[in-house]
Amino acid sequence: MSVKQAENDFAAMLEDSLQGSETLEGKVVLGIVVGIKSDKAVIDVGLKSEGKLFLEDIKTLQNCNEVKIGDKIEVFIEKFEDRNGEPILSIEKAVKEAMWKDLENHLNNETAVEGAITGRTKGGFSVDLNGTIAFLPGSQVDLRIVKDIAPLLNLKQPFKILKMDKSRNNIVVSRRAVLEASRSEAKAEILATLEEGLITSGVVKNITEYGAFVDIGGVDGLLHVTDMSWKRVAAPSDVVKVGDTVQVQVIKFNKETGRISLGMKQLQKTPWEGIENKFIVGEKYKGKVVNVTDYGIFVELADCIEGMIYMTELGWTKKNVTPNKLVSVGDEIEVMILDINTSKRKISLGLKQCKENPWKRFGEEHAVGSKIEGVIRNITEFGIFVGVNEELDGMVHMSDVSWDADGHEAYLKSIQKGQKIEVVVLDVNPEKERINLGIKQLQPDPYEESIKNIKRGDIVVVEITGIHSAGIDVKLKNGLSGFIKKNDLSSDRAYQRTEGLVLGEKIEATVFNIDRTTRKVNLSVRSLEIQREKAALQQFGSPDSGASLGDILGEALKKKEEKI
């Protein structure tokens, strides 16, 4: 093809590219090198005059070693003509325009563009997109907050364009969006094959105070501090570092939420295997204090084996003692094994069990029924707390203050805290850590004195003191209280009624039962009547005589019936 024909073809192409344009200023057109003068190339863009470009600019921006006549170059027309009537051209702006269009295609097609973070700016970072500078907000750098950006600087990597504003020459990009898309694809793939028990390797991405997040092929799992080692771990950073490749096991996987729990200690032999052969419940062992909390003390019994002393097992008497006032981390102490739960990998320990039980010692030194002197520590509505020694308190229940139920209040008014009193030991229970004391037991029981002279079957005269639907309250001559049930008022059903009885009236009854628990004597008129009927039958007749009971009893029973 001749030069003339090539020029004609180029002119046709140029005319097609400009067809429909009202002006060429501010646009990119296709030009042809028609001459080279000194350090410049003469460019024909189809106007009445040719423009010029520095050869070095063409070589640099076109990435070529030589510029020849006939080379086609895209140029940007800044102005139709200068003072000399020549168009002002720019190859740099043409390149930028081409790059801008390319970036717009990435934005419209939602595809990633390659770039590199070059430095920090206000609120974020600057990113070089092959010559075009974009803005990367700080929140769009990574999936999590990145404290150290140094490893990401000047590293070629993909970014997603979020928005573009040509008038302001503003481009906003995101690295996080690319990571999320990649993560989403990888996550869907790995979640489809993930299952509990799977052993895999991962990279530590982030460390928190409660554990570390490990990337296992596109998805993150939580490696909790308690699953890092069978030993107590003070801080996760003591075991792993960011960037470490670790071997882990999936110990829990929730398919609905996508949450993954990982473990490292599960890949090691459990020190709890055969624990029942190493430690025996009830035996004492030496251990080292490894942690002290508000609710108890953790003690290392062996390598990777810990037990816990709860607050209630610290001391026999002081229940609210602060653990750190008793021991410090590193102390060697003696403890007793109280319980071993192999399924939950828990050992309950006791500290007080390694010391003498003061409740048991008190029981051995003070038999039930013995009298001791104590100091009143507290007075409550249900009893009196008495200090029996420097360590222990016993309690006098209100029912053990006085034999007379009405004498409790009078006694309470006569005593005060700090006063020394004499008491009787009623019961000592070391297991429940309880000592029951009594005051009324210092004196003979008046009830027992009163019932010495009566027994079951005795006939007594009683006075009616109370009338109820279920029976009547009565009082014996010696002051004892008694009760006669309704069906014990008479042997005849017709007279088993409380109606017509009068308070203060005296009647005869027989002692049916003496109840020491209720401190009452149960009586019966019915038993007395039956008893007398039997005596009359034996004395005046026999069942074979055919005489009626009324005939046998005679006039005495008739008078009794008239009286009733």
CB 107 within 8 A of CB 132: no
CA atoms of 394 and 388, how far apart (whole Å): 6
Task: Tell me: do 431 and 417 sit in the same domain.
Answer: yes
Whether 27 and 49 map to the same domain: the answer is: yes
The CATH number for 22's domain is 2.40.50.140
If asked whether residues 77 and 138 sit together in one domain, one would say no
Per-residue pLDDT of the chain (564 residues; tens, 9 = 90+): 454 555 556 555 555 544 433 467 778 888 888 888 888 888 888 787 888 888 887 776 677 778 888 888 888 888 877 777 788 887 777 878 778 888 889 999 989 999 999 999 999 999 999 888 999 999 999 887 777 888 889 999 999 999 999 888 899 999 999 888 877 777 777 888 888 999 999 999 899 999 999 998 878 899 999 999 988 888 999 999 999 999 999 999 988 888 999 999 999 888 888 888 889 999 999 999 999 998 899 999 988 889 999 998 998 887 678 898 889 999 999 999 999 998 888 999 999 999 999 999 999 999 999 999 999 999 998 899 999 998 899 999 998 998 877 778 888 888 999 999 999 999 999 989 999 999 999 998 888 878 888 889 889 999 999 999 889 999 998 788 899 999 999 888 888 888 878 899 999 999 989 888 788 899 999 999 888 888 877 776 655 544 444 444 454 445 445 554
**Confidence (pLDDT) at 43:** 83
Same domain? 285 vs 348: yes
CB 157 within 8 A of CB 174: no
Q: Is residue 185, in this structure, part of any structural domain at all?
A: no
Q: CA angle 137-140-142, nearest 5°?
A: 135
Same domain (yes/no): 15, 92: yes
Q: Which residue among 339, 354, 369 closes a domain?
A: 354
What separation in angstroms does the CA of 103 have from each of 171, 219, 415, 542? Answer: 9, 30, 96, 132
Q: Tell me, what's the pLDDT at 564?
A: 46
Is residue 59 one of the residues assigned to a domain? yes
- Is residue 148 situated within a structural domain? yes
> CB burial class (10 A; 0-12, 13-18, 19+) of residue 542?
exposed
Asked if residue 283 and residue 237 are part of one domain, the reply reads no
| Spatial distance between the Cα atoms of 180 and 143, rounded to a whole number of angstroms | 7
User: How many structural domains compose the chain?
Assistant: 6
Assign residue 249 a region (left: φ > 0; alpha: ψ between -120 and 50; beta: otherwise): beta
- For the chain, report the end-to-end CA distance as a whole number of angstroms: 156
Residue 52 lies in a domain: yes
Boundary-marking domain end, from 265, 293, 314: 265
In a domain, 557, yes or no: no
Distance (Å, whole) CA 532 – CA 535: 5
- Half-sphere exposure at residue 129, Cβ-oriented, CA atoms within 13 angstroms: 29
Q: 481-502 in b/e burial notation, b at 16+ Cβ within 10 A?
A: bbbbbeebbbbeeeebeeeeee
| CA 361 centroid distance within chain | 40
Instruction: Identify whether residues 235 and 302 lie together within a single domain.
Output: no
Is residue 551 in a domain?
Answer: no
| 7 and 89 housed in the same domain | yes
172 and 122 assigned to the same domain: yes
- Provide the domain limits for residue 133: 110-179
Q: Indicate if 76 and 30 belong to the same structural domain.
A: yes
In a domain, 93, yes or no: yes
Statement: the pTM of the whole predicted model exceeds 0.75: no
Q: Verify that 160 and 240 share a domain, yes or no.
A: no
Q: List, as one string, the DSSP characters of 310-352.
A: EGGGS-SS-TT--GGGT--TT-EEEEEEEEEETTTTEEEEESG
- The last residue of a domain, from among 219, 237, 265: 265
Residue at 529 is within a domain = yes
